Structure 1
Amino acid sequence: MAIWLDGTDFARYALIPEELLPGWEGTEADEVIDAYVSALRPAGRDVLTLGAEPLSVTWIAEALTFARWCHADDDTGLIPAVLAAGSADGWKDVLSLELGGRYVLADAAYEADRILASLRDAHRPAEALRVELPAGRYRVQSLTVDPDPNTRFMLDRLLPE
């Protein structure tokens, strides 16, 4: 089972470069709240944002894919659905950005102190996930998958260019 960030009060997540995290104020992504996938460029670094709906999200490192939980009884079918979707038609190109290094995926509206506390405290529900990416330019593509009639996940994958 994946580790899920259990929804967001503000309908957006940010993939924050670790070196920008200490100064993160939680207002950086305010202008992109309505976009499902977008990018910001604070301090010369690209920050991927996932938003528009307050859905739970997880990171599947082996597929370089973020999954958002639309509806499902559980996530047992997630990994097979992601693997099957890898070669599926229907992926939509959304944007390209430069990524590389260590990141933290968290609610974009959380301040640095809250995100850092979540990373340090394994006894409370996760509010942040660590993501590590090889340096390079990535194309972000999105696809919604329905592995069965009662299950739907939104996928956003990173494809090295």
Structure 2
Amino acid sequence: MATWLDGTDFARYALIPEELLPAWEGTEADDVIDEYVSVFRLTGRDVLTLGAEPLSVTWLAEHLTFARWCYADDDTGLPSAVRTATESNDWKDVLSLELGGRYVLADVAYEADRILCSLRDAQQRPAEAFRVELPSGRYRVQSLTIDPDPNTQFMLDRLLPE
């Protein structure tokens, strides 16, 4: 089973470059958190945000994909559903951005101290943050909602190297 961020206050997330995390105040993404997927610049770096609905989120590193839980009994079928979805022509281009290095995915409203404490206590449940590592480069973000069966739906946001 994947690690899900689902114990957050607002369920709006930011992919924060780790080197910028110590100065994170939790208000940087206020202008973009109503968008499903958006990006803003902070100290010369792109920060990806996922928002608009209070949905739990996880990272599937093998597929460079964030999955947001709309409804499902569990997430056991998610990896195979994402694998199947990679071949779909229904992905929608959302935006392009520059990424690379170590990031932390956390609720946009959390301040640096809270995020850093969560990362130090990796056994904390529910998780409040987790790390994401990405090769440097330009990425296109594409979104797709999948329904692997009538009782399951996930929103996917994948990063495609350009």
Equivalence for 2:133: 132
Following TM superposition, by how much is the alpha carbon of 1:11 offset from its aligned partner in structure 2, in angstroms? 3.5
Following TM superposition, by how much is the alpha carbon of 1:10 offset from its aligned partner in structure 2, in angstroms? 2.0
1:57-68 → structure 2 map (5 Å cutoff): 57-68=57-68
C-alpha separation in 1, matches of 2:135 and 2:42: 20
Following TM superposition, by how much is the alpha carbon of 1:157 offset from its aligned partner in structure 2, in angstroms? 0.1
Equivalence for 1:29: 29
Following TM superposition, by how much is the alpha carbon of 1:89 offset from its aligned partner in structure 2, in angstroms? 1.6
Following TM superposition, by how much is the alpha carbon of 1:124 offset from its aligned partner in structure 2, in angstroms? 1.7
Check the 8 A contact 1:8/1:55 in 2, yes or no.
Answer: no
- Higher mean alpha-carbon deviation, 148-157 vs 114-123, is at 114-123
> 3-state DSSP class of the match of 1:156?
strand
> 3-state DSSP class of the match of 1:57?
strand
Report % sequence identity.
Answer: 82
Matched, 1:116 2:116: yes
C-alpha separation in 1, matches of 2:33 and 2:96: 19
Normalised by the size of structure 2, how large is the TM-score?
0.97
How many equivalent residue pairs?
A: 161
Structure 1, unaligned runs of 5 or more: none
Check the 8 A contact 1:12/1:33 in 2, yes or no.
Answer: yes
> Residue type of the partner of 2:139?
Y
Matched, 1:78 2:65: no
Equivalence for 1:15: 15
Q: CA RMSD in A?
A: 0.8
Check the 8 A contact 1:7/1:54 in 2, yes or no.
Answer: no
Structure 2, unaligned runs of 5 or more: none
- Higher mean alpha-carbon deviation, 104-113 vs 8-17, is at 8-17
Equivalence for 1:97: 97
Matched, 1:145 2:122: no
> Residue type of the partner of 2:70?
C
Equivalence for 2:39: 39
> 3-state DSSP class of the match of 1:32?
coil
- Higher mean alpha-carbon deviation, 115-124 vs 59-68, is at 115-124
Normalised by the size of structure 1, how large is the TM-score?
0.98
In structure 2, do the counterparts of structure 1 residues 7 and 143 end up closer, same or farther at CA, with 3 Å as the change threshold?
Answer: farther
Following TM superposition, by how much is the alpha carbon of 1:7 offset from its aligned partner in structure 2, in angstroms? 4.8
Following TM superposition, by how much is the alpha carbon of 1:90 offset from its aligned partner in structure 2, in angstroms? 0.8
C-alpha separation in 1, matches of 2:73 and 2:55: 14
